[in-house]
Structure 1
Amino acid sequence: MIRHLLIAGLLVSGTVACTTAQPYGPAGSSGAQGYLVQPIENNRYRVSYTALSPEDARQYALRRAAEVTVEHGDEWFRVVHGYTEAESRGGTGSSVSVGGSSGSYGSGVGVGVGVGFPLGGSKSKVTESLEIITGRGNQPEDAQVYDAESVLMNTAGPG
């Protein structure tokens, strides 16, 4: 009995760990939490960040865009195109099962109907993708143009 409870506890903790936010950093694979950068042409990049909330995805995509800008010797970047993708999995689910058994007291057949809830909450990921152009010198007056150093200062934090 204790062994079964211990195994169940380990499964629950493993399930919960799957839905926790990862620290800021590169994505281990496509669709994983973190950033991906794709060069398009000189001074043009597609930067995306996958996180568990739209706020984190947007903040970290801007942060990575600023890092890319500075890494290439530029001072500002313009977001020329952006979009958000949300992927949700989890929630409640239903199931029907049929089982049979036999033992020293006879045999039996049972049918069960159940409702399942994900133990770690629903799994949802949000990817913010930004296509940026980087530049230096006079920063254009445009709401879609960001000073890279300012963005880095304002988005530094945990992660």
Structure 2
Amino acid sequence: MKTMNFLAVIFASLMAIGCSSQPDYRQAEGNGYGYQATKITDKQYRISFKARGSDQNKAMDYALLRAAEVTVENGYDWFVVTHRETFVDRERISPQSSIGYTNSSNMVTRCGLVSCTTTHYPRSTLSAGIHIGGSESSDIQTVLEIQLGAGVQPDSEHSFEAQAVIDNLSPKTE
């Protein structure tokens, strides 16, 4: 019995090590987790990063990192994000909050021996919310379309120097 318990502990430990040692930032296999790059034209690419969890910022960072790597691999200095979308469990997420107001009424009918009485109770509901994105088991996917460039970089909040992005967003090795 002790041998079985020992083997079970060893097996569980190896499984935990195997699962935890797989890096977050990796190339996706098929439609799995990780990054993908699709060439649209010589200077345009679609980059996606898919992860499990609730950290939309991490998915965005890794998509930007892959965009920077594709830029450098193709001999360019910078890239411009021309389109960006984030999906949580395949639903597009917009960064906006929501506010709602609803009027309704409840109708209650009470019947006695001789007659019935119906009463309406008005009800108002005010709701507000901000979607903070998914749970630990959610699939988060960020999709970027980028335009590659060299030389003078456009002065835009959507323009990124590729090497600076790589330096700042590459996963830190421990």
Considering the TM-score relative to the shorter chain, is it more than 0.5?
Answer: yes
Match of 1:80 in 2: 82
1:123 aligns with 2:137: yes
Query: CA separation in 2, counterparts of 1:130 and 1:149?
Result: 18
Paired with 2:139 and 2:22, the residues of 1 have a C-alpha distance of 10
> Which of structures 1 and 2 has the bigger CA Rg?
2
Q: What TM-score does the superposition give when structure 1 sets the normalisation length?
A: 0.65
Structure 1 unaligned regions, length at least 5: 89-120
Amino acid at match of 1:49: F
Question: What's the offset of the Cα at 1:87?
Answer: 1.5
Q: Deviations over 1:10-54 (max 9, x none)?
A: 998869x8799743110012132x100000011100000112321
Q: Which amino acid aligns with 2:160?
A: Y
Q: Distance in 1 between matches of 2:161 and 2:57?
A: 20
Q: Distance in 2 between matches of 1:122 and 1:9?
A: 26
CA distance in 2, matches of 1:7, 1:28: 32
Match of 1:141 in 2: 155
**Equivalent-residue separation in structure 2 for 1:44 and 1:9 (angstroms):** 50
Two-structure CA RMSD over aligned residues (Å): 3.0
* CA-to-aligned-CA distance 1:92-149 (integer Å, 9 cap, x gap): xxxxxxxxxxxxxxxxxxxxxxxxxxxxx85212111100000000000111000001
Alignment partner, residue 41 of structure 1: 41
Q: Which amino acid in the other structure matches residue 43 of structure 1?
A: K
- 1:23 is paired with a residue whose SS is coil
CA distance in 1, matches of 2:66, 2:154: 20
Q: Distance in 2 between matches of 1:47 and 1:67?
A: 11
Structure 2 gap ranges (5+) = 91-134
Q: How has the CA–CA distance of structure 1 residues 62 and 122 changed in structure 2, closer, same or farther, with 3 Å as cutoff?
A: closer
Q: Distance in 1 between matches of 2:9 and 2:168?
A: 40
Q: Percent of counterpart pairs with the same letter?
A: 34
Whether contact under 8 Å (1:47, 1:65) holds in the other structure is yes
Please name the residue that 2:51 is paired with. Answer: 51
Contact kept? 1:61, 1:128, Cα under 8 Å: yes
Instruction: Please list every run of at least 4 consecutive aligned residues from structure 1 whose deviation after the TM superposition is greater than 6 angstroms.
Output: 1-15, 17-21
Matched ranges for 1:1-159 at <5 A: 22-32=23-33, 34-52=34-52, 53-87=55-89, 122-158=136-172
